């Protein structure tokens, strides 16, 4: 059985993230989306648990996708799985520089760890969670950036509406 792990902050999940999940789910038998808890990252819109709920909602139609959160090193998280492949989405060459470095670090920490890069759909090469947070903060229309199932939740949260659910 082939297993992919797609780690990230997903704050909030975007249509670009969903595109990578959809493609990974078509390639691998199982995909585990892992919301990485990054305490050093300031300005988070959603808690890790809220992000798990959001991703679970937008992937509920995928039989082979599960979502969880983890605090720590990705190389440690994958220890409980047999031969997983890390999935990373690339939007631009600047993403590649960073992701290549992280793949090498992860490989050094765990030599059996492999990373597969999936290039984002052209429609989303400019899209990031940071852009969505900024648009939401200023009341921008999010329908072209965020899955429809969670657009209202993202807008409400950006307006100071408290919990995601």
Helices (H), 59-163: 74-77, 93-109, 129-137, 148-158
Please pick, among 26, 41, 108, 144, the residue that the annotation labels catalytic. 41
- Contacting residues for 131 by C-beta, under 8 A, at least 6 apart: 145
3-state secondary structure of 84: coil
CA-to-CA distance for 99 and 89, rounded, in angstroms?
9
CA-to-CA distance for 74 and 82, rounded, in angstroms?
14
CA-to-CA distance for 97 and 93, rounded, in angstroms?
7
For residue 26, indicate whether it is catalytic.
no
For residue 91, indicate whether it is catalytic.
yes
Burial of 116 (0-12, 13-18, 19+ CB in 10 A): middle
For residue 17, indicate whether it is catalytic.
yes
Please pick, among 22, 91, 107, 156, the residue that the annotation labels catalytic. 91
Six token digits for residue 121: 């759909």
Please pick, among 23, 51, 88, 129, the residue that the annotation labels catalytic. 129
For residue 32, indicate whether it is catalytic.
no
Q: Which residues are the active-site residues?
A: 17, 41, 91, 129
């Amino acid at each position: 059985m082939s297993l992919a792990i797609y780690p990230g902050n997903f704050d909030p999940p975007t249509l670009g993230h969903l595109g990578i999940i959809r493609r990974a789910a078509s390639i691998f038998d199982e995909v585990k989306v892992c919301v990485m808890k990054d305490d050093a990252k300031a300005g988070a819109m959603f808690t890790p648990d809220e992000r798990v709920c959001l991703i679970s909602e937008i992937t509920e139609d995928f039989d082979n996708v599960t979502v969880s959160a983890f605090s720590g090193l990705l190389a440690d998280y994958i220890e409980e799985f047999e031969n997983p492949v890390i999935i990373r989405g690339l939007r631009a060459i600047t993403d590649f520089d960073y992701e290549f470095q992280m793949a090498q670090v992860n490989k050094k920490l765990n030599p059996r760890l492999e990373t597969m890069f999936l290039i984002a759909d052209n429609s989303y090469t400019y899209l990031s969670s940071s852009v969505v947070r900024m648009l939401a903060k200023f009341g921008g229309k999010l329908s072209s950036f965020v899955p429809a199932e969670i657009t209202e939740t993202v807008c409400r949260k950006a307006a100071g509406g408290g919990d995601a659910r």
